Amino acid sequence: MAKVPPNPLLIFLLTTDAVLGCGTVPVASRTWRFNVTGFSLPVAMAFSTDAAERAQVPQILPNSDSAEAFVKRLIIQGVLDVLEQQGRAAGLPDFLITTILSQLGISVLYSPLPCPVVSVDPTRPIPRDLPAMMSRTTCVIFGNTVTTTCLGMDAPGAPAGGHCELNMPMHFTPIPPGHLSISGTLTTSNAIMATWSREMWQSVVNRVLRMITSGPFGTQFATAVATVA
């Protein structure tokens, strides 16, 4: 008869003294780094400080801080939800789950994409001040996704003439990789959780991605890949 491997999370959760930081088990600390790449850019992960531009795309955020905070909430809440689900599946009481989660620190780093101008579905007529629009970098948006940028004279590396022409493909540039990567750390101060292997944390982060893909950003994160080291 094949043996069923023990669930590491269940063993951890049932070790009450370790969960509470009591008994003879010494308090430990361990940090793992994670990185998420391979996704396309949801509008909600970009920002525009121009109210007229935001009026065209309600999902876009008003400044870098709010876009960064949005991404942090998305990842942090995902990790907490995954661990809470696993705790409930193991039959843990709420107070133990709360204690476990309080012993986990999660940091998230993300650089939001600035969008001085937005162009929503550029195949449509654009009844706007085109000279002013062309002088600034434009984020091209289809649906809920920022697909590319068109550099204006306000951007480093802008094309000759320093303007964006949406009918000129050579003026388009891919979204910089720095805006298509989310990184961070998972730090636990619990003695037992600190012994978790990289594979255990990789499983947690993978489940977070699956939760995201089952929500409103499923299209953008369908190809996302997470690594833990």
Domain locations in the chain as residue ranges: 31-228
- Does position 176 have pLDDT exceeding 60, yes or no? yes
Nearest C-alpha neighbor of 92 from the set 193, 14, 11: 14
Neighbours of 190 (CB within 10 A): 24
Q: How far apart are CA 93 and CA 96, in angstroms?
A: 6
pTM, 2 dp = 0.83
How would residue 22 be classed by pLDDT, with cut points 50, 70 and 90? very low
Looking at the predicted structure, is the pLDDT value of residue 136 above 90?
no
pLDDT tens-digit readout, 180-197: 999 999 999 987 788 999
pLDDT tier, 5 (very low <50, low <70, confident <90, very high otherwise): very low
pLDDT at 30 over 70: yes
25, amino acid identity: V
Task: Let me know: does 31 contact 8? Beta carbons within 8 Å.
Answer: no
Confidence of residue 25 (pLDDT cuts 50, 70, 90): very low
pLDDT for 137 equals: 84
Does residue 107 carry a pLDDT above 70?
Answer: yes
Split at pLDDT 50, 70, 90, the class of 154 is: low
- Which residue would you say has higher pLDDT here, 129 or 30? 30
198: left (phi over 0), alpha (psi -120 to 50) or beta: alpha
